[in-house]
């Protein structure tokens, strides 16, 4: 393990939830790690999919699961009808 390696930490309350997919739990930890500095994570689905070596649809499914369980909030900014920014915030 490298000295300056980042960590994905999953709170025990999330890790023990039986109503969450294991992938959604790991994504929660990723979002939690990325949002520690600014309270928000703005990584796009493509970046997250590449990070986890999976596809965008899987990331979308995991995000929806976390949002539906009210563990995250997703805020989108639009310009000319297109999403220009998306912020994901941990709420639980």
The Cα–Cα gap between 59 and 27 comes to 8
Tokens of 53: 């070596």
Classify domain 19-90 at the CATH topology level: Arc Repressor Mutant, subunit A (1.10.10)
**pLDDT, tens only, 12-64:** 999 999 999 999 999 999 998 877 777 788 889 999 999 999 999 999 999 99
**pLDDT, tens only, 62-85:** 999 999 999 999 998 888 988 888
* DSSP code, position 84: E
Instruction: Output the pLDDT for position 33.
Output: 87
The Cα–Cα gap between 47 and 71 comes to 21
Give the pTM. 0.86
E-only strand ranges, the chain: 72-79, 82-90
Instruction: Output the pLDDT for position 58.
Output: 97
């Amino acid at each position: 393990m490298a000295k300056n390696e980042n960590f994905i930490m999953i709170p025990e309350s999330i890790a023990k939830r039986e109503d969450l997919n294991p992938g959604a739990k790991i994504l929660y930890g990723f979002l939690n790690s990325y949002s520690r500095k600014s309270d928000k994570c703005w990584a796009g689905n493509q970046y997250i999919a590449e990070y986890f070596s999976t596809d965008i649809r899987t990331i979308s499914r995991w995000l929806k699961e976390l949002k539906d369980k009210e563990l995250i909030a997703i805020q989108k900014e639009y310009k000319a009808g297109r999403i220009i920014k998306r912020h994901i915030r941990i709420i639980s």
